[in-house]
Amino acid sequence: MVYLDDASTYRVFDKSGMLDHLHAFPEQCGKAWEKVVDFELPHGYSEISNVVILGMGGSAIGGDIVRRLALTESSLPVWVHRDYGLPAFVDANTLVVASSYSGNTEETLSAFGASLGTQARKLVITSGGKLRQLAETEDIPVYVIDYKAPPRAAFPHTFVPLMGIFQKLGLLADKSADLREAVHVLSRLSGDCAETRPVVSNPAKGLAARLQGRIAIIYGAEILTEVAQRWKAQLNENSKAWSFSESFPELNHNAVVGYEFPAEVRDKVFLIMLRSSSLNPRSLLRYQATAELLARAGIPYEFVESEGESALARMLGLVLLGDYVSFYLAMLNEVDPTSVDAIDFVKECLARSAISGGG
């Protein structure tokens, strides 16, 4: 049996050092901001009418969260494209941002290759690979990530640069003060969730223990919608566990009706509702009504509150908390959080196929 307060647990199962990346998260956010401040965009890049961010998995979620911030501050549409090819609306007034930590993501390479046949302005965020080579050959600006980690653990270096670029484009207000606040919140949270903090006073360890053996379903609203997606993906990849996410208010128009059947699932699920006092009061009422429905159905649930004043601090704080929860659940599941054998298997199957990836 695994004990989260036993230091040997981490030596046995965290073979590749995922915990080190979690501890580094606050500092890496600050370093990424310092770097993007010095990153120069070509003249005319702000003269656009829409933005398309290309990415998959851990390289795409940063785009989702930046898009959420831009929804409240910019009149320009932002689209996160997780697929082959390009949306048909991409034209000379579009900025295409290809984000791939490895630089070898098949779908992103396909979409970026398609963008080369358009007059769209283009930008790449990567650590290297084919994407960097192609961009440099085409004289396209590249923001180079110099932090070594699995893509999902490099989140500060895919999200923060995008936020800085959006600020430079005039799509977001100056986020310097908000990021300072966020780093402060993250640093405090990292201490609260450290492996040396016992289960009884460690929010991440405690929640992981309650999730063990259950399917985690994550609910979020407004600025926490994409954070719920991040929790879902981290529980999948780090914990090797089934997990799903949904968003308010949409889930109140369908998901809540499905709490009845099959009855057996009630003992196998756990609902986590990511919540913030800054949400629309009507959204907060929906949280309460949903909690009552869950209680009536006998389904366990828990509210997880955000910290901080700014939207950025609230979002990033919950991102890091979810990362810690997924890590500790991996320990309880007795698996290495870094390995992603199933993803590698799919890539190998694709590599053996003669069918082209389209770019």
> CB burial class (10 A; 0-12, 13-18, 19+) of residue 75?
exposed
CATH code for the domain in which residue 227 is found: 3.40.50.10490
Quote the pLDDT of residue 174: 98
**In a domain? residue 339:** no
The token duo for 54 is 């290309």
Q: Which residues are catalytic?
A: 237, 253, 347
Q: Please tell me the distance from the alpha carbon of residue 79 to that of residue 87, in angstroms, as a whole number.
A: 9
Quote the pLDDT of residue 187: 98
**In a domain? residue 181:** no
Tell me, what amino acid is at 25? F
Domain count for the chain, please give it: 2
Are residues 168 and 43 part of one domain? yes
Low pLDDT (below 70) residues in the chain: 354, 356-359
**In a domain? residue 357:** no
CB atoms near residue 136 (< 10 Å): 12
Are residues 328 and 203 part of one domain? yes
Quote the pLDDT of residue 95: 98
Residue at which a domain ends, from 116, 140, 174: 174
Domain that holds residue 312: 198-332
Quote the pLDDT of residue 359: 46
136 three-class SS: helix
**In a domain? residue 263:** yes
Decide: 160 and 145 in contact? Cβ < 8 Å: no
- Strands of 215-221's sheet in order across: 243-248, 215-221, 269-275, 301-305
What Cα–Cα distance (Å) separates residue 123 from each residue in 85, 105, 216? 16, 16, 36
Quote the pLDDT of residue 223: 98
Query: pTM (2 decimals)?
Result: 0.97
Are residues 170 and 26 part of one domain? yes
**In a domain? residue 305:** yes
Q: Kindly report the average pLDDT of the chain as a whole number.
A: 97
The DSSP secondary-structure symbol of 310 reads S
Contacts of 354 (CB under 8 A, 6+ apart): none
